[in-house]
Structure 1
Amino acid sequence: MKPPFKFEILAKDKHSRARTGIIHTKHGKLETPYLVPVATRGFIIALTKKEINQLKIPAMLSNTYHLHFMPPGDKEIKKLGGLHRVMQFPRVLFTDSGGFQALSLGIGRVRNMKKIGFFHERKDIDEKDKKESFAEMTEKGIIFKSTYDERISRFMGPRESMEIQSNLGSDIIMAFDQCNCAGDTKKETEEAMLRSHKWELESLKYHNKDQMLYGIVHGGAFKDLRIKSAKFISELPFDGIAVGGSWGKTNKDLYKVLSWIMPLLPEEKPRHLLGSGWVEDIFNAVEQGIDTFDCVETSRIARHRHLYISPKSGGNIKNKFKIKVNQSNFNSNKKIDPICQCPTCKKYTRKQLYTILLKDKREYYKHATVHNIGFMLQLTKDIRESIKQGNFQKLKKRWIKEL
């Protein structure tokens, strides 16, 4: 019996590794390149089903750790018909493995570090809590303390992660791994990589064969480790390949890592970049051959009063193609961005949106999130079309200009 998924390459850029394609799943087709909006707990903060349908979002990503620990839990979600039904989202769903929380709730929390550089200071967390780990690493898996009820601790290994993701019923799942953080020594990075390799082999053994399983390349910012991991993962029967872990202290390090490993990955398998999705990252990673991305920043920065803008509105590498929503920037009747076709840009001027912010923050969060997601949907659509038409390099030059 054939699996309910496949990857089809439609066109390639003649001057780079960029390509456009379609991931076929039992919940529909996903055209690539594509930035996957993150619905961590099974929903995108500030959006309802109505806005998601308006945007015509073809795929979202949810978090295995949170859906396991947060009520009702993955077993109950399975009884209710799976995550698609609970979310009322009939299209493609990704889930990560839970391995990233070993970093974000464990050593990264203790060291105040993340995949790239340092966490921002969190005013809502006491100093004592900043240094408390909610994840204990073992050779067989991770012992997590629930962030929803600290009295609850549960072990999660490859088998458990695959079972949880099977209960959720997502279309594309990630192998269980250990995410290292920026600042790890080479020895620490190699230990995490080898542990991840062992867990990924077990993930292959236990995963639901109706789900598309991605292996994850690790190795931090170390060239020899990345190459070793890329070769190891490429030789295994994964359905797709993801690039994970830390790639250094700046996003420039990401481009180096991709240049090392992308030539080694099987051409016929889709490639996903975990936890990255700024405009510059997307162009540079697509150029290297990445097909899909996920990034929480798209919706997060909207709630923090930052909206995406194109070069026509002053977007550039320095400001990360975003503008602060304040009185000086949003005191005119022009559109948020002239090329954006999202529902927010069609309905409101900058001045109107700023007025909404002053009167009703929740309403602002909704319109801002719709804009940022809609902006990225349009950008990745334009990238796909540029590859098909042989104009990807021209499009990239219009957007990515060194200052």
Structure 2
Amino acid sequence: MYKNFKFTITHQDQKTPARCGEIHTPHGIVQTPNFIFCATKAAIKGVDLATMKQEGTQIILSNTYHLMLQPGSETIRALGGLHKMMNWDGPLLSDSGGYQIFSLGHGSVSNEIKGKRNSNRPQSLLKITEEGAKFKSYIDGSYHLLTPEKSIQIQRDLGVDFMVVLDECTPFNVTKEYTEKSMHMSHRWALRSLAEFKNHDDESQSLYGIVQGGIYDDLRKQSTDFVNENEFFAHAVGGSLGASKAQMHDIVAHTMSMLSKDRPVHLLGIGGVSDIFNGIKYGIDTFDCVHPTRLARHGGALVKVSMSENGKEHINIRNNRFKTDPNPIDSECKCSTCMRYSRGYLHHLFKAGEILGMQALTIHNVHFMNKLMLAVRGAIREDRVEEEQKIWCG
């Protein structure tokens, strides 16, 4: 299996499990560790993919749930798949659709999964059975049943390099009994996903298995054993990661200690700078999150902690203190935004509601994340991860 895919570890850090590697795909090589930007609906909000490439982006992610509802996977297949439709010649990852279905079903896109329980979003998940998940479209109210087989079929239509098995994303505030029952069902769904993948494998795609088990060490052990023993190209760490960053780091560390070391490992939905450093020190190879681009649309510019206030990883360009600031976001940054625009001008753009402001900050944040990952890879090769973390996180 996976004849056109290969993962090679090119350097192992001498002090931590951090490692550099290369994931070879039919659409190019991903150098790891790396960050995957979210083109949720087959587009990066605020910038085109040519700009993403210019800023050093190697891989992006698109969302099965949203694309199955609009425009539909058959339409994307008719347009030649996501690569051709978006004019993106690099590697692509999709998710299975499960995260959105189950998080929406619990009342929000992500709040329940991440331990926050204050959302008033209407629930759309109707029923979970062994067959799959029945839900109502947020677009037109139509009813859908997503099964493991259907998820793989949709991802095949999308033409992505990396598929993900369908799983149930259990929220934070459920019992251990529910988490265990859900995990075993997710394992059965994963086997069905794998069987469907094998039945139509044309060697152009690969499949990720997902580790579940919530906050429970023994369940995480069962789930890591499951993915290690089955024919997945790579692993993704999913499910609830706890109620705090400390708990999340503990769960990731415990999970990573049990996963096989010869496959790439992805940490789902995590994109904070300090979280990335902690992840790579446990051996995580790739990360994804909407955070950098979503933050930009709300006036947030990513900076090293030493440049911000109150230990944050960004500054809010809408704050009045930037109204007459003639300096760029970061005088050391070489992105086109920092080379062209002052904080004062960016502040004006946001106050005036100009789209250029959101676009400019998105470009800066994309550049920042790619520069961060380049620095991380360099630090691992030189066995100085801790020192590099202090530069970025203080």
- Distance in 2 (CA, whole Å) between partners of 1:345 and 1:10 is 33
Task: Find the aligned partners of 1:147 and 1:84 in 2 and give their Cα distance.
Answer: 26
Contact 1:341–1:375 under 8 Å retained in 2? no
Matched with 1:188 is: 178
TM-score by length of 2: 0.94
Q: For the Cα contact (< 8 Å) 1:106–1:133, is it kept in 2?
A: yes
**Which residue of the other structure, out of 304, 316, 319, is the alignment partner of 2:298?**
304
In the TM superposition, 1:12-23 aligns within 5 A as 12-23=12-23
The answer for the alignment partner of 1:198 in structure 2 is 188
Q: Match for residue 163 of structure 2?
A: 173
Aligned to 2:228: 234
The residue aligned with 1:116 is 114
Per-residue CA deviations over 1:342-388 (Å, capped at 9, x if unaligned) read: 22112212112112223343111111111111110100110001111
For 1:377 and 1:120, locate their aligned partners in 2 and report how far apart those are by CA, in whole Å.
Answer: 33
Contact 1:105 1:135 in 2 (8 A): no
Distance 1:260 1:75, change over 3 A: same
- The whole-number CA distance in structure 1 between the counterparts of 2:55 and 2:360 is 12
Given that residues 323 and 348 in structure 2 are in contact (C-alpha distance below 8 angstroms), is that contact kept between their aligned partners in structure 1?
Answer: no
Unaligned residue ranges in structure 1 (runs of 5+): 122-126
Bigger drift between 190-199 and 326-335 goes to: 326-335
Number of the residue aligned with 1:281: 275
Deviations 1:312-363 (A, max 9, x none): 41377x42x1111122145312221234322211221211211222334311
1-side partners of 2:268 and 2:255: how far apart?
Answer: 15
Aligned 8 A contact 1:33 1:291 in 2 = yes
User: Which amino acid is 1:102 matched to?
Assistant: I
TM-superposed deviation, 1:267: 1.0
Cα deviation digits, residues 193-243 of structure 1 (max 9, x gap): 111111011111111533121100001111111111111111111000000
Q: How many residues align?
A: 389
Describe the superposition over 1:133-184 as per-residue Cα deviations: whole angstroms up to 9, x where unpaired.
344211111112111111x111111100000000000001111111011111
State how far apart, in whole Å, the 1-side matches of 2:262 and 2:125 are: 38
Alignment partner for residue 314 of structure 2, among 319, 322, 328? 322
Q: CA deviation at 1:120?
A: 6.6
Cα offsets for 1:3-40 (capped at 9, x unmatched): 21111111111111000111110001111111100011
CA apart distance, 1:108: 3.8
The CA deviation at 1:50 is 4.0
* Distance of aligned partners of 1:119 and 1:276 in 2 relative to their CA distance in 1, 3 Å threshold: farther
2: CA distance, partners of 1:275 / 1:9:
23
Deviation for aligned residue 1:55: 1.7
SS of residue matched to 1:37: strand
Question: How many Å apart are 1:53 and its aligned residue?
Answer: 3.5
SS in 1 for 2:301: strand
Q: Is this contact kept in 2: 1:108–1:181, CA < 8 A?
A: no
Aligned counterpart in structure 1 of residue 127 of structure 2, from 105, 111, 136: 136
Worse overlay, 392-401 or 342-351 = 392-401
More displaced 10-residue stretch of structure 1: 166-175 or 182-191: 182-191
Query: For the structure 1 residues 362 and 235, does the alpha-carbon distance in structure 2 shift closer, same or farther, using more than 3 Å as the test?
Result: same
Matching residue within 289, 298, 304 for 1:295: 289
In structure 2, the gaps of 5 or more residues are none
Q: What is the match of residue 217 of structure 1?
A: 211
SS in 2 for 1:66: helix
Q: 1:217 to 1:366 in 2, by over 3 A?
A: same
Tell me the secondary structure at the aligned position of residue 378 of structure 1: helix
Residue 372 of structure 1 pairs with residue 362 of structure 2:
no
Query: SS at the partner of 1:369?
Result: helix
Could you tell me how far apart the structure 1 residues matched to 2:381 and 2:244 are? Answer: 31
